[in-house]
Structure formats: C-alpha cells, structure tokens
Amino acid sequence: MRLLSRVLVLLALFLAPPALAQALLTGADMRPSQSLDGAWHWSVDPYRDGKAGFHGGMPGESSRRWSEVNQADALEKNPSALYEFDMQRSPVVHLPGSWIGHAAEMRYYQGLVWYQRNFEARKPAPGTRVFLRFGAADYTADVYLNGKSVGNHRGGFTPFVFDVTELLRDGSNQITVGVDSARTDDDVPPPVTDWETYGGITRSVTLITVPETFVDNAWVRLGRDGRIHADIRIYGSQASNRDFSVRIPALGLTLSGRTGQDGQWTGSAPAPRALKRWSPEAPTLYDVETASGDDVLRDRIGFRTIETRGTQILLNGKPVFLRGISMHEEELGNNPIRAITPAAARALLTEIKLGLNGNFVRLAHYPHSEVMTRMADELGLLVWSEVPVYWRVNWENPKTLADARTQLRENILRDRNRASIALWSVANETPVGDARNAFLRTLIADVRGFDDSRLVTAALLSKREGKVMSIDDPLVADLDVMAINTYNGWYSQDPLADLPGFEWRSPTDKPLIFSEFGADAQAGYHDAASRPHKFSEEFQAEYFRQTLAMAAKVPFLAGMSPWLLKDFRSPRRQHPVFQQGWNRKGLISETGARKQAFYVLAEEYRRRAGSNR
Ligand code: GCB
C-alpha cells in the first residue's frame, strides 16, 4: 500500500504542470484591463451538443462544432446557415454570477451552459501581448475567441489566462465560453459537499494588454529575518538578463537587479526603519511597483511576519490569539449567486471585524474571490485560505492529485502578496490512510515550495473516548498548526452542560485551532425552555457558551473559526421547517439578522481582545 501510494505520487509529479513555465497573470487583478463583465447571452446545453456534436460525436460526423464558429459572421455571410443554438438571439444575463440566478429552473442544474458576447477591441499593436483572464469559472471552462478554441481550465475557484494576441481583431470580436459544473468522484472537490455548487462564470472576465516582455509573479514580502524579500519572474523573448526594479515609494526603497537566463531573480534588502508593519489593528498597505522595460506591475502590499513558537502563533513576533469565524463565498441576500463585489465583501468582513471583535476569518472550503482577500488586507483580518480537498477525495488517482496541485498553485500564486493570509490549508475532514497521507504530504511540500513565509495547516478530525478528545492524525507531524473541526453537542446528544468537562489532549507542542464548531439555529425561532430544542436561537447560544467554556480550558489553543458567519445555501440541508435548503449554522441569517449566539461570541472576543489570549 505504502509503495502504491509512493508510485502514485511520483506519477502525479509528472502529470502536474511545470511550476511557472508559462505566465499565469494570477496576481494581475490590478493591471489596467478591458472588462468583459456585463451582458452575455446564455443557453443551457444538457446533452453537450456544442462540445460533442449533434450526434454526440458519431463516426463520420463533422468535427466542427457550432461553438467553433463566429456565428455573427457566419449568419451575415450565409443566409442558409442553421444554428439552433443561436447564441446571438439567446437571452441575456449580467455576469459575473452563477446561473442559479438566471432562471428559476436553473437552481439545481448541473451540466453545461454556454455564454457568448461580442465586444469591440483593437488588433494588438506590435510588441504587445493580450491575455484573456477569468477570475474563476465553476467547474470546467472551454473558451473560444472568434470561433477558435483558446483552451480550457478545470477547477472552480482560481484564476486562469489565455494568450489571445493572435486571435483578436480590429472591431467586433466574439467570445464563447462553455462552463460545465458537473463533477465526478475524481474531481476536487468531489460532487458531494455541504455547499451550493454555483456553476457559471462567477468572477470577472478581463482583457489585459502587456508589453511582449513583461513582469509576472512579483512576490514581495517581509522575511522572518527582518529583510524585504522579492522573487521576480519576467516572461517573453527578452526575459533573460533583463533589468528590473521593485520600488516602494512611501518607504524610499528600491531593489533592482538583472534576471538570470531563466528570467528569474531573487534577492532582499534590509527593511527600512520607517516600515509600519501590517496587523489587524493597523492594516498598513504600501504601493509597490515592479518595473522592467515598458512594463509596470502594481500592487498594494502589507508587511508582517507570521510564525509559531511552541503552542503559540506569533504575528510580528508577538503571540496572537486568532479570534475568527468561518464563511462560505456567498453574498448577503435571499438569493445569492456568488457575486462578490467589494461592497459585498466589505459588508461580510465588517461583521467579523467590528460586529464580532474578530481578527481572523477562515475562507472555507475553497479559494474565495481575490476581491475578498484584498478586502481582508484592507480591513485588517488574518485569513485561512484553502483548496477544496474535502471529505472523500479519490486519493489513489494521480489526475486528482494533479488537479489539487494546480488549484493550490494558482491560489498561492494569486495571493502570495496578501498580508492577511496567515495559513494555507490543504484539506478539510479527510479520513486517515496511507494514500490520503501521501496525497496531502505532496500538497504540503508544494505549499512550502511556493511560500515558506506562512504556516501550513489542515482541518482534521479528532478521536473521542468518553470525554477525552485526542488528535491522533499522523499528518500533525507535517503541519505547522493543528486544526480540528468538532461538533460535540450538535451531532452528538451530549447535554450542553457537559461540554466544558471535555478534556483535549495533544500529541505535540504545536498550536491548535478549532477550525469549526457550530449548531444550526433558525433566526427568529425561540425556545424559552430550560433545555431548549435544537434549531432554536437559545440552543445555539447555549452551545456557543458551553463550547467556548471548553475552549478556554485548552492551554494549547491558539485560535478558532467557529462554523460560521452566515447561513448558506446547501442542497443537502432539507429540514422542512428550519432549513429548506440552507445550512443554518450562521451567527447571522442569510439576510444579516444577528442571532443570539452572535452576541455570545462577540462578547468572548471582546474579552479575549483585551487579554490577547
Ligand atoms: C463540517 C464541514 C462543513 C459543514 C459543517 C456542518 O465539518 O467541514 O463543510 O458545513 O461541518 O454544518 O456540518
């Protein structure tokens, strides 16, 4: 078995795409761009006609699909052209946003949906390149420009780009995207989760023009050695031996150098004395410009260090208790479509920061929008960021591992400059076993390879014997911070008053985070009995009081992110009275009504903020 999983990991190493062989523009959301958000035509395609062909790909059938034609051109030139999928006359919706919001019958649709729009552009000037960038499309996307395939992408939560320099033309252009939300047991995440899939183009689409040789992946950070470190990568025909500079004007700091043969440079300089370190209390961000030739890549970056010492987490060298909460990527409202605008991100994170007196958020269970992590930087919240390696992943399949590694890499490369991110997590509630351990160890090694400045964790399950809870997952040895999801008193029938009597045992001297605990409550359902029923606000509030009393007795606890800020859509939660398609473990309802437990946690965090423990 051990041998088998080693072989699988080796195979996956070959399948995984080379680290940075091509430009990803993952961190390019601040580059000037032409937005393709707005009105798009859409059509369902439940039999995948636009991909498979009319007869589903019968021998002899023309290999040309309607998706590979610029329909506007074809219909103009040839009146007898026939397109039943006439995208130009299909209904129009506003993107980004999941198709769940397009029409009532789309709520549980899992499959292929086509999108198309026309836009005006210029043929790229000589010496420039144009990239088409998607913030995310859930789950696979096939993209065509002017009837030509430009590529595809798997994974619903991370950005991807295509070089479309050769395909853009002066005047009207047409983009067609087929997004398929169907997943199998080999995907990441697998089909069964506890959240809404939100198929579609859920984040912004942009066209980004850069000089032929340009900067990408400029990672600038404060090292634990007190120096500002930079890793620069330049792409294009002139990338070797290329001069560049990294400037932080407000600090009067410039790092300059010349790339090697491979277009890369790594170096550091002492941090200026004037540097104000980023922290939740003072989230200072600096403009940083990386320039080479005609290209300037801009960013807003905070500088801080994060590390562990024994059972403590240290931020800027000082112990910090993570006063957090978890959340899914869903805006407030009765009918969310996963459209995270800066205003939506601010509204949610402000509830954590000011409402709950928090300093930490777990962005569960997949990479959230870059809008969210930038807002966390700006408002001052530490972040747990994770990939959807969730529950029952196919540990034995090298392709599944390759997909997980791609998502991890895209997430880290996108957000390495976000000061808010303190922890990268590689998995949630996964069953211990050789193949799983090997799979997750590969991801942990990847995290350390891409980013050695942060902490690595994973949400694990504990073992219960009577009232003794222990952490006996072998993965603990590989992590910087242990994390446990625990639900005694909700999924078990323990009387709530017993919870403070539970004893937690640790196998190491590493810090522990309670990455989840929670109980459903329907906002407005009250039960005044001395032992209130589940689903009442009183039960949830008492559950929080008693679980927090238990947590206060765990000496190696360094933080918590209870489950969770806001009620969220989940097709598996169908209690006819209390849930109706919503997981009700939110401390606020889907429309933002605060439940009693909200105030219990806010008070606990106010007290902990005072003592920082
Ligand atoms: C968990 C999962 C989370 C669920 C939650 C629940 O442990 O990590 O995805 O939503 O429990 O509500 O049961």
Cα(182)–Cα(48) distance, integer angstroms = 11
Cα(169)–Cα(150) distance, integer angstroms = 15
The domain that contains 503 carries what CATH number?
A: 3.20.20.80
Residue 553 within any structural domain of the chain = yes
Residue 464 burial class via C-beta count within 10 angstroms: exposed 0-12, middle 13-18, buried 19 and up = middle
- Predicted local distance difference test score (pLDDT) of residue 381: 98
- Predicted local distance difference test score (pLDDT) of residue 82: 87
pTM of the model: 0.96
| Cβ atoms 327, 362 nearer than 8 A | yes
Residues 401, 418, single domain; the answer is yes
Cα(277)–Cα(316) distance, integer angstroms = 8
Considering only CA atoms, which residue is closest to atom 4 of ligand 1? 194
Mode of pairing for the β-strands spanning 322-327 and 557-560? parallel
Residue 404: partners with Cβ closer than 8 Å, 6 or more residues away? 188, 387, 389, 393, 439, 443
Residue 428 burial class via C-beta count within 10 angstroms: exposed 0-12, middle 13-18, buried 19 and up = buried
Domain count, the chain: 3
Place of tokens 């219960």: 464
Residue where a domain terminates, one of 174, 209, 244:
209
Can you read off the two tokens belonging to residue 496?
């709530």
Considering only CA atoms, which residue is closest to atom 7 of ligand 1? 485
Residue 2 within any structural domain of the chain = no
Residues 329, 299, single domain; the answer is no
Residue 352 within any structural domain of the chain = yes
319: cis peptide before it, omega within 30°?
Answer: no
| Cβ atoms 134, 166 nearer than 8 A | no
DSSP 351-417: IIIIIS---EEEE-SSPPPHHHHHHHHHHT-EEEEE---BSS--TT-HHHHHHHHHHHHHHHHHHTT
Can you read off the two tokens belonging to residue 345?
């991100």
Residue 580 within any structural domain of the chain = yes
Q: Give the position, in ligand 1's atom list, of the atom nearest the Cα of 491.
A: 13
Residue among 563, 564, 570, 578 whose CB has most ligand 1 atoms within 8 A, to mutate:
563
264 CA to middle of ligand 1, Å? 42
**pLDDT mean by block of 10 residues, the chain; 613 residues:** 53 49 85 97 95 80 78 85 90 98 96 98 97 98 96 97 97 97 98 97 98 96 97 96 98 97 97 98 98 97 98 98 98 97 98 98 98 98 98 96 97 97 98 97 98 98 97 97 98 97 97 98 96 97 98 98 98 97 98 98 96 71
- Give the angle 138-142-147 at the CA atoms, nearest 5°: 145
Residue 15 within any structural domain of the chain = no
Residues 607, 539, single domain; the answer is yes
Q: H or E segment at 566?
A: none
Q: Helix, strand, coil proportions of the chain in percent (round to 5)?
A: 25, 30, 45
567 CA to middle of ligand 1, Å? 12
- Predicted local distance difference test score (pLDDT) of residue 58: 79
Q: Give the position, in ligand 1's atom list, of the atom nearest the Cα of 585.
A: 12
365 CA to middle of ligand 1, Å? 10
Residue among 516, 540, 543, 565 whose CB has most ligand 1 atoms within 8 A, to mutate:
516
10: cis peptide before it, omega within 30°?
Answer: no
453: helix, coil or strand? Answer: coil
Residues 296, 358, single domain; the answer is no
Q: Give the position, in ligand 1's atom list, of the atom nearest the Cα of 429.
A: 8
588 CA to middle of ligand 1, Å? 16
Residue where a domain terminates, one of 169, 185, 209:
209
DSSP 113-135: EEEEEEEEE-PPPTTEEEEEEES
Residue 316 within any structural domain of the chain = no
Residue 404 within any structural domain of the chain = yes
Q: H or E segment at 465?
A: strand 463-465
Is the C-alpha dihedral spanning 22, 456, 298, 342 positive or negative?
Answer: positive
Residues 423, 452, single domain; the answer is yes
583 CA to middle of ligand 1, Å? 9
Residues 477, 569, single domain; the answer is yes
- Predicted local distance difference test score (pLDDT) of residue 19: 46
Cα(193)–Cα(201) distance, integer angstroms = 20
3-state secondary structure 492-556: CCCCHHHHHHCEEECCCCCCEEEEECCCCECCCCCCCCCCCCCECHHHHHHHHHHHHHHHCCCCC
Q: Give the position, in ligand 1's atom list, of the atom nearest the Cα of 485.
A: 7
171 CA to middle of ligand 1, Å? 50
Residue where a domain terminates, one of 260, 275, 306:
306
Q: Give the position, in ligand 1's atom list, of the atom nearest the Cα of 193.
A: 9
Residue 14 within any structural domain of the chain = no
Residues 178, 225, single domain; the answer is no
Mode of pairing for the β-strands spanning 455-460 and 481-485? parallel
Angle between helices 370-379 and 342-350 (to 10 degrees): 50
Residues 432, 556, single domain; the answer is yes
459 CA to middle of ligand 1, Å? 11
Write down how long the chain is.
613
Q: Which domain holds residue 253?
A: 214-306
Residues 241, 341, single domain; the answer is no
194 CA to middle of ligand 1, Å? 6
The domain that contains 257 carries what CATH number?
A: 2.60.40.10
Cα(55)–Cα(67) distance, integer angstroms = 15
377 CA to middle of ligand 1, Å? 26
Cα(416)–Cα(300) distance, integer angstroms = 12
Ligand 1 neighbours, Cβ below 6 Å, are 194, 365, 428-429, 485, 516, 563, 583, 585
Residues 279, 340, single domain; the answer is no
The domain that contains 65 carries what CATH number?
A: 2.60.120.260
| Cβ atoms 215, 297 nearer than 8 A | yes
What is the distance, to the nearest Å, from the Cα of residue 184 to the centroid of all Cα atoms in its chain? 20
575: cis peptide before it, omega within 30°?
Answer: no
Cα(67)–Cα(53) distance, integer angstroms = 10
570 CA to middle of ligand 1, Å? 10
Residues 283, 407, single domain; the answer is no
Can you read off the two tokens belonging to residue 382?
């530490």
Considering only CA atoms, which residue is closest to atom 10 of ligand 1? 194
Residues 175, 40, single domain; the answer is yes
